[in-house]
A and B are shown apart, each in its own frame.
Chain A
Amino acid sequence: GAVVSQHPSRVICKSGTSVKIECRSLDFQATTMFWYRQFPKKSLMLMATSNEGSKATYEQGVEKDKFLINHASLTLSTLTVTSAHPEDSSFYICSATPGGYEQYFGPGTRLTVT
């Protein structure tokens, strides 16, 4: 149980285009979902926290107009990278929690912007 999926696992897009990443909790309802970014050999950096039906809370330094987060249902959150640039290339990871301390993580999405 407690499986979180992400789609796609890898995506390559051209500079200036937008790309959407989906995060789904497959067997539980997620009251809260989190989006992280991981740079090579670096730790996971929290980008934003989203609660179903409300606006996401972004961490300091994260551009909310560039990284659009939608948490439309208790099992789905999406991250859209708008007008992507090569510096947005990274590994994006989501997590979800039904409540309590434990977060369940997706396998991540590798974004490459050319």
Chain B
Amino acid sequence: GDSVTQMEGPVTLSEEAFLTINCTYTATGYPSLFWYVQYPGEGLQLLLKATKADDKGSNKGFEATYRKETTSFHLEKGSVQVSDSAVYFCALTIDQGAQKLVFGQGTRLTINP
């Protein structure tokens, strides 16, 4: 079945460090890929998305490129801030009509000043 695997957390970085959170997927069709972020005490929010191979999603300084050849959608940010501390979820959907999301396990990110 379809699945998403994220790098194990938690991840702790210093402010202004470079961030990479790895995400790989297995899907029978051609998925759309998403990164969601969950700040403390809040619901998940869509951070960025990519709907086809080689698409790059970007938002708030975060980027991820849909790599079909490696079945990956790694999240990157060049210089993290304390306010980026949150849990990040990689997800996919291949059923556009039903919009059913398959999530990775989440990666907790803590940024220290």
Binding site for B on A (CB under 8 A): 4, 32, 34, 41-46, 49, 93, 95, 97, 100-108
Contact = CB atoms under 8 A, between A and B. Distances in A.
A49 B89 contact: no
Q: Is the interface of A mostly helix, strand, loop or mixed?
A: strand
Contacts of A34: 99-101
B25 to A, nearest CB: 12
6 residue pairs, one from A and one from B, having the closest CB atoms: A105-B43, A105-B44, A43-B103, A43-B105, A44-B103, A107-B43
Interface residues of B, number: 22
Contacts, number: 49
B96 interface: yes
A101 B96 contact: yes
Interface of B: 4, 32, 36, 41-46, 49, 89, 93, 96, 98-106
Contacts of B100: 34, 46, 49
Contacts of A46: 100-102
Contacts of A43: 4, 89, 103-106
A37 to B, nearest CB: 11
Nearest to A31: B99
